[in-house]
Structure 1
């Protein structure tokens, strides 16, 4: 990160400027066998396209609230940073009825229908695949995002002092997210740069988001993000730690 970074989107911009080719998120789904690795540049491109979708097609702007009804997943990480780029509030696991936009995985579609605004559905299939049949009342993220632009410019300046994130009922401004991410990275031993952390934590707590996204992003590290890690035996987890060159494990 740079000393001038004051929002989560700033952290991503700094990472992109410093080392765009390095891995940022390596995602495993141990229910499907999926593995996908995203460099900083690839991840940032997904964020850019998603931010354009959010700001343009979904007409979201600063002060709006986006309920993210999603598990710990690489596409969830993309949405968190896209929200930060636009300046909307990313409300992780939030109340769809109180949101201006809801983004839902396949397991929370019924709860997401409470949103009176725009609704986006993510199939969370390998390789970012689309739904075989789009859920009624939702736009399919995998259909809409590929055609979005590869450059993003926010319509309004993002205020780092405004609320950027709500998780587990607690609000964090952009500045607070950055400051806490840097502090957490130091406590985890990530501050040297290039450190890989394996996280089996969900994204519905600050710890899960910090370990599984913000800390590695702020410190020049990377995360091996594992969904359904509990399905693996200890030997398989140890083998993954070795093969992915992981130094820090949180589960």
Structure 2
């Protein structure tokens, strides 16, 4: 899973553990979070432990990730893949990439959903024995039947633990697409964008919701990411200059 898991982050951490690997900002709320390679790897490790030790999940388990592009979404995805848990997404603007919607009656072991989408999708969230709301403050109570992801994941240490080995041919997504296949696609997209190691890529989250665009492709190229929610296209260039980003997607 070389191109679809925290091995990418760990490799970046060796180069410069203090530099931001993922910067998330929301132009509407003013939220801004910077995560170094070490910090993002820590969140991924905690998530993996939550799934593995807290939920009893691992290779062969399935997750539905009903989250928008966000730094916590990166932690959920990388953590799930670290634990060998395959995922499906719910997206709107996929630009021709697989949508990977959870299918009707598809067995799901764990669901991650955003706060504003619990109300909208209450009858449409896949039934799962484990349900988490991401994006809440640690002291916020989630809706009935859900647990607060930030509060729960904070109970676990950042250090990764041993899991069953995950092979390149294992399924990374619930449609059976392997880590190798997603890695190949990420590398092809990086080459198509002429994205190179050391680049800092500003991504319009609304226009590029698919994780292969805003997460896997930059990581595969060795680039860092500035993920902007509700970005005003008119100010994208100014935002890139302010964030010292040399590429815009």
Alignment TM-score > 0.5, same fold: yes
Residue 108 of structure 1 is matched in structure 2 by: 117
- Shift, 1:113, TM fit: 4.8
- Shift, 1:171, TM fit: 4.5
The change in CA–CA distance for 1:56 and 1:106 in structure 2 (over 3 A counts) is same
Residue 178 of structure 2 is aligned to residue 173 of structure 1: yes
More helix by share: 1
* Equivalent position to 2:194, from 189, 197, 206: 189
Residue 152 of structure 2 is aligned to residue 147 of structure 1: no
The change in CA–CA distance for 1:181 and 1:163 in structure 2 (over 3 A counts) is same
Q: CA RMSD in A?
A: 2.3
Whole-Å Cα distance in 2 between the matches of residues 233 and 154 of structure 1? 44
The change in CA–CA distance for 1:120 and 1:164 in structure 2 (over 3 A counts) is same
Residue 119 of structure 1 is matched in structure 2 by: 131
5+ unaligned residues in a row in structure 2: which ranges? Answer: 91-100
The change in CA–CA distance for 1:85 and 1:239 in structure 2 (over 3 A counts) is same
TM-score by length of 2: 0.85
Q: Are the equivalent residues in 1 in contact too, given 2:208–2:214 (CA < 8 A)?
A: no
Q: Are the equivalent residues in 2 in contact too, given 1:165–1:173 (CA < 8 A)?
A: yes
Runs of 4+ in 1 over 6 A off after TM superposition: none
Paired residue secondary structure (1:176): helix
5+ unaligned residues in a row in structure 1: which ranges? Answer: none
Residues matched between the structures, number: 234
Equivalent runs, 1:1-251 vs 2, <5 Å: 5=2, 7-93=4-90, 94-95=101-102, 98=106, 99-109=108-118, 110-111=122-123, 113-122=125-134, 124-125=135-136, 129-130=137-138, 132-166=140-174, 171-191=176-196, 193-202=197-206, 208-229=210-231, 232=232, 234=234, 236-250=235-249
